[in-house]
Homo-oligomer: A and B are copies of this chain.
Amino acid sequence: MTTETARPTHRNENENDGTTYVHGYSDTEARRLGDQADTLAELLHAGTAYPAGSRVLEAGCGVGAQTVHLLAAGPGMLLTAMDLSADSLAQARARVAAQAPDADVSWHHGDLHRMPFPDGAFDHVFLCFVLEHLPDPAAGLAALRRVLRPGGTITVIEGDHGSAFFHPQSPAAGRTIDHLVRLQAAAGGDGLLGRRLHPLLTAAGFTDVTVRPRAVYADGGRPELAEAFTLRTFVAMVEAVRAEALAAGLTTAEDFDRGIADLRRAAEPDGTFHYTFFKAVAVNP
């Protein structure tokens, strides 16, 4: 459920080896992230429209899947988009050039823990599916707060894989989701971060912290959402860790595949699927 590539540690010299980014950097993944962002744009971006002239930092822009939606909602904003992966950043530039050619974007290749920007350089900070990959999200929030001016806002969007439930129920499907959560934890992340947003932002010193769930619910009355979200976004994300889950000895091929088949079953006309994202907005006092 991530579109971001900001990796927190400096140990890894190879930017794109995928060892700390649980979802990998393949072309298939880049397409999945674009599909996901387009499907969820209205749900996740509603309420976020930065004024013309405002200085906005998107931390961990990844392949630009959210960037184009930010720019569409905030014409005239002055956006700085940063990411730890040069490859992802190049894809984001290409996406923005194609979809928002007139946008004013500065591209920055770097780590959000070591940003060269002066204190208070931005009016607003935006990050989507980034904190879930940081071993120390509190440190990440502290770094972001430093570059935010007093009175400026931070907007954070995260998923929570423990929020997923579906019909028909399936223990195998539940275990398969758990494997993704476990692999993400082994990589230093937290696939259940959504539920922690309020305490994390509060502990980081932000005020007026407002967190609201934004749910995706697909049933037989919304077959296009079952296709776009349940199958092409969620199941695709879980299925992508198959090789890694097997290599780690977490499960057997048979059990993993049964879990995936059961998740797909929930996208049929008499199935249902429910997932909750969280969107937080807070102020730097």
State the Cβ distance, A222 to closest chain B Cβ, in Å: 9
Contact of A165 among B160, B219, B270 (CB under 8 A): B160
State the Cβ distance, A263 to closest chain B Cβ, in Å: 14
Known: A166-B195, A195-B166. A274 touches B220 (CB 8 A): no
Does A116 reach chain B (CB closer than 8 Å)?
Answer: no
B160 touches A270 (CB 8 A): no
B167 touches A165 (CB 8 A): no
- Inter-chain contacts of A211 with B (CB < 8 A): 217, 219, 221, 272
State the Cβ distance, A160 to closest chain B Cβ, in Å: 7
A272 touches B220 (CB 8 A): no
Expressed in whole angstroms, the Cα–Cα distance for A184 and B209 within the complex equals 38
Q: Which of A17-25, A106-114, A196-204 contacts B (4 or more CB under 8 A)?
A: A196-204
- Inter-chain contacts of A213 with B (CB < 8 A): 215, 217, 274
Does A31 reach chain B (CB closer than 8 Å)?
Answer: no
Having A198-B272, A215-B276, A274-B276, one finds 6 other A-B pairs with CB under 8 Å, namely A165-B195, A166-B195, A169-B195, A209-B220, A215-B215, A276-B276
